[in-house]
Each structure stands twice: as C-alpha cells, then as structure tokens.
Structure 1
Amino acid sequence: MRVVVLGGGYAGLVTTRTLEGTLPSAVDLTLVDETGDHLIQHELHRAIRRPEFVDRISLPLTDLLDRATVREATVASVDREDRSVRLADGDAVDYDVVVVALGAGTDYRDVPGVAEHALPLKRLPHASRIRREFRGVLDAGGGRAVVAGAGLSGVQTAGELAQFARDEGVAGHVEVVLLEAEDRVVPGFPEEFRAAVREELDRLDVAVRTGTRVTAAGADAVEMAGESVDSADAGTLPHGLLVWTGGVRGPDALDGRRREVDGTLALDERTFVVGDAARVRDGSGAVVPPSAQAAVRASETAANNVAEAVEALRAGREPAFETWTFETPGWLVSVGDGAVAQLGPRTFTGPTANLIKSAVGVTYLADHGSLADALAVLREEVEAERDLLDAVRERVGEE
C-alpha cells in the first residue's frame, strides 16, 4: 500500500513527518516536491533585503525526513479515478491514499498586464528578482515601488522595501506605495492588530492607499480606480517596480482552483487536501484563512485521517475521520525591522513583538527543521536575548 504526499511546504512536510511515526512500516510513504527543499515561506520576504537569509530558510527535505522517499518532480495533475499522480516529465505515481499539499499560486485576478509586468513573491527566485529590480530603483537615485495587496504578505514586502531604502540612506528619494482594494490594511484581522500594522507602515513612511484597486498594469505604471484616485493623478501611478500580492489561487495541478473541504480535509475517502491548496470550512463552519499557521495546525488532523483511511482500507471497513477546528493563539507580521504580534486580546509592537516572532520561527525550525538553523536565526534576530536562547536549548535538549 502506498501513501503519497504532494508538496513539501508547511502542510506537506508536517503531514509527512507525522505519518512517518503513525503509518505501519509496510506502507510506502512518498513525498513529491518540485524543488526537493522545504521553504520557510513566512520568512521569504527577508531574502529581499538580506540575500544571505536564503540558506537559513531553504532546507533539503531529505534532511528533515526519516523514512519517507522524496521524489523531486513537478505535479501536473491528480487523477482520482485512476488513483494516479501525473508528473510533468511524463511519469506517473500510483497511490492508495493521497494528500494534496501543493500550496497556492498567485491570483492576478485577470487584471490586464499584471501577469506580464508584476512580480509575485512565492519562491526564492521571486525574492531575488524583487531585490535586483529594487536595487535598480535605488541606484537610479530615486523612484517608486508599488506593492498591490495589503494582506500579510503585502505588508511584509512593503515594509522590507521601505527598510531597504532606509538602510541604503535614500529613503527620502524612494517612495514605497502599498495599494489595497479593501478599506483597510490586513482586512479580515482584528481591529487592534490592523491599527498597529498601519502604525508600523506609517513609521516607515510607506504610502498606504486603501480603497484602491489596480485596473491595469504596464511596464512602468499602473492604472487605478477607487476612493483614493482623483483628478490630480488621473488614476495613473508610475513605478520602477511592481509587486503583486493581491490574491491566491489553487495550484495548476488542480486547475487553479482551491478545493473546498470540510474539517476532515477529505475530498473523498482516499484524497485529502491541506494547506493553501484547500479552502477549508472547519468544524465550526468558519472559513479558515490561507496562512502558514493554519497549514501547520491542520496537518495533524490530515495525517490522522490518512492513517485512519489506510487502516480502514486494510480492514475493509468505512473510515471514521476526525474533524479539525482552527483555533489561533494570535497573529504575527514583520514590518521592516519592526513587527506586530497579537496574542489573545493583547497586541505588541517593538522589541517585544520582534522577540515573539523570532521565538515562533525558532520553535518551528527546532521542531521541523534543524537545531543549527533554529539557533542561527535566533542569534541573528535577537542576539541580545540570551534568556530566550537558553530556553530554546532546553526545549530541544542541547547540552
């Protein structure tokens, strides 16, 4: 019997690691991933300003897994009827149970010119190109960078660019503009969190335009509509760099659609979808936001239900799946060298928020990556916080 996990991001890695400890040894476990590396996606924006961070946030999957076979390949499609995964190179991988954790792509929302002229931020090459093109703006002595979409990714990208300009001493000559179609930044998040994020953006002099949507994009300007557009700018905003973080779509292997699943994460008794590839309505009936936090938290239920599916198939009975309900302790976002953290009803900024965000990243790396990477990130981010470093050492048992 074979279980196949598609995608080595947060959901795919955590699901596979859990299955390594729960599936019977006779069950073959295979992880298929396009790059063969696990990317710490929520830290990707840091590579825009600090390319040395790349080695800290990209980890070989073979170093993170014990018994699972890692196959480096691009998934073209999933045939649920034949129970076969078609690969871009023409090969196929048959399965008895499959977990689709291929993440999400960038939704350009069919806005003319955006796919051709805007840069997404999903992979390491994207961060490198954003850095290269923004460096061109800096070297030109001035200009404008536009980030479209003020969700968590857009806020972090705009903050990183603004901080980059400050670090280079040219902040007064380079404008970073953050556009958002809704009437507030990070829409859908608690009001106090949103207000703190806006204050951090203002601190970095990011020009925020809410209620503004991009209607077209060219090589050196975007066309806009909305409440912030008036006759003074005629709806045209010149730019030297355009980054698009305005939406997510399903993976190409699922025809660009995020599959809708309930809290069992099951499309059928042999197919599970987890992470950003899924649009999850959890056990409470709420739609779960696409985020790294949600992907990690859903993965335990996905793994448990895969193990139950395997056991049911072997026993010739109907499976009894458990249902997941998303519960979050809070939210975190970086804004340049600053951060905003919400834990329960309290919102933190400044050094406390940076410490919380670094601690969360270290915990993830220590649990799912390596101790060396965890401690390296911690030393770089909060070198003065020796008490936290000691706590991490104690957690993972380092002598």
Structure 2
Amino acid sequence: MTEKQIVVLGAGYAGLTAAARAGKRGRVTLIAPESRILHRVRQHETTAGLPVNRPAIAEVVRGRGVRHVRARATGLDLAGREIVLDNGDTVAYDTLVYALGSRTAWHGVPGAAEHAHPVERAAEIADRLRTAERPGTVAVVGGGATGIELAAELAEAHPRWTVRIVTAGRVGGWFSAKGHDHVHRVLRGLGVGIHEHSAVTAVDAGGLTTATGRIPADLVVWAASMEAHPLAAEAGLAVTPAGRAVVDDHLRSVSHPEVYVIGDAAEVTVPGTGTLRMGCATALPQGRYLGKVLTGRTDEPFAFRYAAQCLSLGRRDGLLQFIHGNDSMRPAVLTGRAGRLAKAAILKSVVLSLR
C-alpha cells in the first residue's frame, strides 16, 4: 500500500510539535517559511533587544521522518487536497494538519495598520528603539498578557523612554485580586503609565486618539488582540464568525474530516473546561495529542485542563497565577523572584517539549 501523505501546515508551537511527534513513526511534510522557531512567548524579550534562543526547526525534527519545505502557503484546495505555495509549487496530502495560527488583529481602527507596529515585528521595534536619535514615548496598546510583558520589558530595558500601556478594559483585569495588584505595582514601579478604559479610536504618526483623550507617542506597539489566519475561511473550512476552524472532539474539521486543525487556528471546546483561549499553553498539548493520533497511539478524544498562567515582568519579577481547570482564577499567586523563576522554567520546558 502507498504510504499516506501527511502534511503539516505551519511551524508554530502546535504544528511543529505535531510534526516532530508524528515523524517518530511516519513520514511528514512540514510547510513553513521559517528556518527557526518563532518562539512567540519570548517576543517581548526580542522587542527589548535581548538575545533569545530560537532553535532551528531542523534541530527540533532531527532524527524524525520530517521533510521541511521552506515556503508559504498561498492557497488551499480542499477538493483536490493540494496546497499552493508562494514558489509556485503544489503539495498533495491525504491528511492535512492545519496549524497556521494567528496574527495581529487591527479591528478596523483607522491608521493602526499604517502607523502601529505589530508584535510580530519584534526585531524591527528593537532596532527602532536602539537607533532612535533621542528617547521618546512608546505606547503599548493592549492590556492582556502580551501587552503587559512588552510594557514591563521595554520600561526596564529602556529607562530613558517613557512607556505607556493603553487598553479598552483593565490591565490584567482577569487575574485574581493579588495577581492584578502585583501587575499594577510592578508596572508603576518601572514607571509605566497605565491608561485603562481608553479604547483606541485612531492611530497616526503622532500617537493615539482614545475614548478618553489624546496620547502622544513616538512609537506605537500593537498588542491588542489576535485573529486566526484567514486561509481556512478562504478555502472553505467551517469556521466561527471570528474565523477559527470548528473542530470535533478529535480536532478534526467538522466540514472536512481529512483536515485536523490545531493551535490558535482552531476553536476547541473541551467538556468541563470550556472553549480554549489562544496561546502556547493550549497549542502545545494539542500538538502532542495529534502526534499520538497520527501515529495510532490513541483514539481517545482530546482532553485538557488548565493549571496556571505566568507572566514575565521584566528581568527581576514575574507572576505565576494558579487557576482552576476551567481557566477561572484561584486566589494563590507566586510573585517576585519566585514568579520570575517559575516563568523561566516554563519557557525552557516549551522548547524541550516540542520533540
């Protein structure tokens, strides 16, 4: 019998983990333009100009039956089971793992795409800060985990710059009272200006216009929210109104069962846990699970429970927020050096767990 063609589209945490693990027992084609892992959970460090270890994809899949095609997918023919690449080639599949993840969402805010820098351009932001003729003001848009980590890292690494964090809601508002208070205390201690309940209505070369007034800025970093890559919807996979693929309890597309969708690209709902949020914490377990499915080591439904959420708050502080399995907050937290060490240990485990 001809061996089935398994293709993994995307080399983020979910896709790379699935490819590396499926490649233990089978042949896999991995399609992604990068030569090294993106390592999104450390983008705040790259933005601040700090060195970040980003292992080569070839090293992650070393010794596995994985062929890495360095190209970007521009089209997906679900009926013909082919992927169209930006180099003009096509790749056929019997089973597709769609793991293209997410990207910065501008939400139609006038001027945002033209004048703000998305977190994906972390190295460009670092160069801008390093080469500026004089220090100025950086406005970080977004009060979620990414925005908080960016604001803290930038304020500590560039103390001559004024750093502001701007959000439509509350900065760290989902944490427990102890976690929320610690985040605010650290940010204020680093000199970060906090602008809450200040939805951004426009961005221009001179800064932000918000619901509560004008915030001048020399550099705007956009970390407000993420959206699923549009290729799934464009190709005809069943998606939610937000563009995330609808999957069953084995992470298969409900409209095309020969396609598995994992990571930020999928809207995964687990009984007793709820709909999983985007992020490394949910992407890695999906990749590990699918590696077992593709090698015939399990036919059980995907299961997942939360345990904790962690934040870097500069080089000397951090937060480990303990949470219930359904992602609701427990009162307990680790802060300070203990929180920082916990976060560092988790970051190291991310790379190790890819294989």
Q: Does the pair score TM above 0.5?
A: yes
Q: CA deviation at 1:74?
A: 0.2
TM-score scaled by length of structure 2: 0.87
* Residues 310 and 318, structure 2, Cα contact 8 Å, conserved in 1: yes
Q: How does 1:53-202 map to 2 (within 5 A)?
A: 53=52, 56=53, 58-65=54-61, 66-122=64-120, 126-135=121-130, 139-140=133-134, 142-166=135-159, 170=160, 174-182=161-169, 184-202=170-188
Determine the structure 2 residue equivalent to 1:236.
Answer: 214
Change (3 A) 1:187 1:324: farther
Determine the structure 1 residue equivalent to 2:345.
Answer: 359
Q: Which runs of 5+ in 2 are unaligned?
A: 235-242, 324-329
Q: CA deviation at 1:94?
A: 0.6
Give the number of the structure with larger relative contact order, counting CA–CA contacts within 8 Å between residues 6 or more apart.
Answer: 2
Q: CA deviation at 1:177?
A: 1.0
* Residues 284 and 354, structure 2, Cα contact 8 Å, conserved in 1: no
Q: Which runs of 5+ in 1 are unaligned?
A: 230-234, 312-319, 370-399
* Residues 262 and 282, structure 1, Cα contact 8 Å, conserved in 2: no
Spell out, residue by residue over 1:106-151, the C-alpha distance to the aligned partner (whole angstroms, 9 max, x if none). Answer: 10001110000100112xxx122111223355x41x4211011111
Q: CA deviation at 1:276?
A: 1.1
Bigger helix share: 1
Q: CA deviation at 1:328?
A: 1.8
Q: One-letter code of the match for 1:8? A: A
Q: One-letter code of the match for 1:163? A: E
Selected match of 1:8 from 11, 21, 33: 11
Spell out, residue by residue over 1:308-350, the C-alpha distance to the aligned partner (whole angstroms, 9 max, x if none). Answer: 5xx9xxxxxxxx9532233122011111222111245421111
* Residues 14 and 299, structure 1, Cα contact 8 Å, conserved in 2: yes
* Residues 332 and 340, structure 1, Cα contact 8 Å, conserved in 2: yes
Distance 1:272 1:195 in 2: 40
Q: One-letter code of the match for 1:29? A: V
Distance 1:273 1:119 in 2: 28
TM-score scaled by length of structure 1: 0.78
Selected match of 2:314 from 302, 311, 336: 336
Count, aligned residues: 332
Distance 1:347 1:325 in 2: 25
* Residues 250 and 302, structure 2, Cα contact 8 Å, conserved in 1: yes
Selected match of 2:199 from 192, 210, 213: 213
Q: One-letter code of the match for 1:211? A: H
Spell out, residue by residue over 1:237-262, the C-alpha distance to the aligned partner (whole angstroms, 9 max, x if none). Answer: 11100000111111142258222324
Change (3 A) 1:46 1:129: same
Distance 1:17 1:280 in 2: 22
